[in-house]
Amino acid sequence: MQPYPHVYKVSAGATNEGDVALSSPDLPELPSMAPPEFGGPPGYWSPETLLAAAVADCFVLSFRAVARAGKLEWKSVTADVDAVLERIDGVARFTRFTTRARLVIPAGGDAARASMLMEKAEKVCLVSNSLTSERHLQSEVVED
């Protein structure tokens, strides 16, 4: 890992019509639009969905790191995030992020330890830690 601080550079550009082009060095361009809830067309990533995706992605990557450090054997992990946007005191803001995580471990694995490591992954996720919204983790461990 590189020493802190880390700086992540992203650019956004648009004309008066059409999508917003998101770019970052060495990454493919990503088109974005307002979500349908704000009058945008379906089929595009939006700032709102990108934020929810960042929470889900960070959980999965944090779990990988925590599981590796804890020498946990596992097969797959998924994270579904519901990000709730509300208007409070006239200001729209995200108030709650619920992560539903499902971990598949080998038959005979330590489900209690796996569950504990999922909790730890949620606690160390730097994206979630940067948010002031409520956070909830609903985890499930299944044997395969």
Chain centroid to CA 117: 17
Cα–Cα nearest to 68, from 124, 8, 5, 3: 124
Residue ranges, the chain, pLDDT below 70: none
Tokens found for residue 96 = 């709650």
Q: So where are the chain's domains?
A: 47-143
The burial of 105, by beta-carbon neighbours within 10 Å (0-12 exposed, 13-18 middle, 19 or more buried), is given as buried
* CA dist., res. 141 & res. 118, Å (int): 9
pLDDT at 1: 86
CATH T-level fold of 47-143? GMP Synthetase; Chain A, domain 3 (3.30.300)
pLDDT in tens, 26-44: 999 999 999 999 999 999 9
- Looking at the DSSP assignment, which residues form a beta bridge with residue 102? 78, 140
pLDDT in tens, 57-77: 999 999 999 999 999 999 999
Tokens found for residue 52 = 């929810």
pLDDT at 94: 98
